Amino acid sequence: LSKGRALMLYHYLPFDKTLWGRMCSPPSVALQLVAMWPVLAVRAAFFTLLLGCLLVEPEAHQLTAFVLAHKSSQLVSGVMFAVQGLLAFWLCAAALVPADAPDSSGCALRGPGVSHSVTADAIALVWLQALVWLAFALLPHASGSGARRGSDANPLAP
């Protein structure tokens, strides 16, 4: 279990790889794609698992990286949602409806957002925001970035 935790944290938040190094690593790319997946339940499960891995030994740098990664993936998946909605609306309003059709009820059946559960999406969004606020609440109780375990000395003290 601890080895799986270490592998997930290393491939998602590696300490020794640049952005290019992460893009060349298939496990890192796979985890980034899961984090940006447009299904909210998948993102909620992924970030819950990630925060659970971070809670074993909370460190300020990792918690801050978690918050930033969550918010950046929220931006990317939001853009993906917008493009998906735009394409779904275009398909139902213009592409799939014949030009001589008297009524455009195709959008009522195939329009954007018709097949989604609003309740499930709302619960997943609230859960994702609660994870971010939990990470913020844990920051004062986390160890400093790069601090040695068991060391009380302040590395910034003169």
Task: Give pLDDT tens digits for 115-157.
Answer: 778 888 899 999 999 999 999 999 988 887 555 555 555 555 5
Backbone torsions φ then ψ of 68, nearest 5 degrees: -65, -40
Half-sphere exposure of residue 97: CA atoms within 13 angstroms, side-chain side = 20
**pTM summary value:** 0.76
Bridge partners, residue 59, by sequence: 143
Token duo for residue 140: 């004062």
Report yes or no: 155 and 147 within 8 Å, Cβ to Cβ: yes
Q: What dihedral do alpha carbons 120, 137, 55, 80 form, nearest 10°?
A: 40
Task: Give pLDDT tens digits for 100-124.
Answer: 555 556 677 667 777 778 888 899 9
More confident residue, 48 or 154: 48
Report yes or no: 65 and 13 within 8 Å, Cβ to Cβ: yes
Residue with token string 């300490």: 15
